Homo-oligomer: A and B are copies of this chain.
């Protein structure tokens, strides 16, 4: 078999995936307006006596529609900047817009429910990473990791700081930017184009504080104390990314963690690997552990915080790879066998993209550890 066939297949699949994601972003307003229309239609089907009990319903829908418009402005600006204008007004991601058009034509313009959810998840992550409301959430996870990195840096010999830090699962980039703000050199890695596009936009194109308003909670009517709380808008960014990072300090590499960091240039080059709500995104977490060992310098540190909500545990579309779900105890045993030495080990509570003003609080009891790469690994 011609190996080029395989490459061509991969390129086709990647182009299709990118097109599907751009299409989902582009259609955000359309799908959100459709949801509001259904809510309006359901209300119109109530008996008159019930309608009379809810005099503010239409005002609520109008305000929700304004929130959708604010979200749309952010997402639309992002696509315009990254895909249409780009550097020197040429398309930044070659072929992304035509890939989206092709994808849309193949599905008659429809957006799959899971893709609608992923766009809305980006809005919640903007809350987590770039709003003042996210500060408490960030303190409980990024803050702890930063303290630990500070403590590692303080034990280095003079001349060995700044540290070279890898952040797999960089998401919307705040942990990377915060680690840069401490003076370190950080390389982020992210697989999801949803996250890559949004982080590229916030990190590189924020012109001023509180430039955009996002309404991450308006899409669900569940567990709200008040309508106003459901519809509230959050100003982003809460800090200017350029105030956190200096040129050359922050890089971002797209792609699958295990594939990308198998490259020779990444072997034994990082002082620290910092993973936050990341290791449970693996099909096989042992692949991640091996990669972390491989990219660390001897004596380097892996700082991890997160639960074990395995991303692939539920049947879903995706590559046909074997999935395993290990307990914390098993992961620690495997890490030890791979040559990682536990230095500190805690169990801490941390929320993730949680609506603090709502009646539902999802809090993870996270493992939080620092392991070092032993001399023989």
A→B interface (CB under 8 Å) = 39, 41-43, 45-46, 50, 53-54, 56, 113, 220-227, 229-230, 280, 284, 286, 307-310, 313, 315, 322-330, 333-334, 337-338, 349, 358-367
Contacts and interface: CB of A to CB of B under 8 A. Distances in A.
A230 B327 contact: yes
Contacts of A53: 286, 333-334, 337-338
Nearest to A365: B359
B221 A313 contact: yes
A232 B201 CA distance: 47
B364 A307 contact: no
A280 B221 CA distance: 11
Contacts of A315: 113
B46 A226 contact: no
B225 A322 contact: no
Contact of A364 (B225, B338, B360): B360
Nearest to A226: B329
Contacts of A280: 222
How many monomers of this protein are in the complex?
2
A41 B320 CA distance: 12
Nearest to A310: B222
A46 B225 contact: no
A359 B224 contact: no
A113 B46 CA distance: 32
29 contacts: A42-B322, A43-B322, A46-B284, A46-B286, A50-B284, A53-B286, A54-B326, A54-B334, A220-B313, A221-B313, A222-B325, A223-B307, A223-B308, A223-B309, A224-B308, A225-B328, A226-B327, A226-B329, A227-B327, A227-B329, A227-B330, A307-B359, A307-B360, A359-B365, A360-B362, A360-B364, A360-B365, A361-B363, A363-B363
Contacts of A223: 307-309, 364-365
A5 to B, nearest CB: 24
Contacts of A54: 324, 326, 330, 334
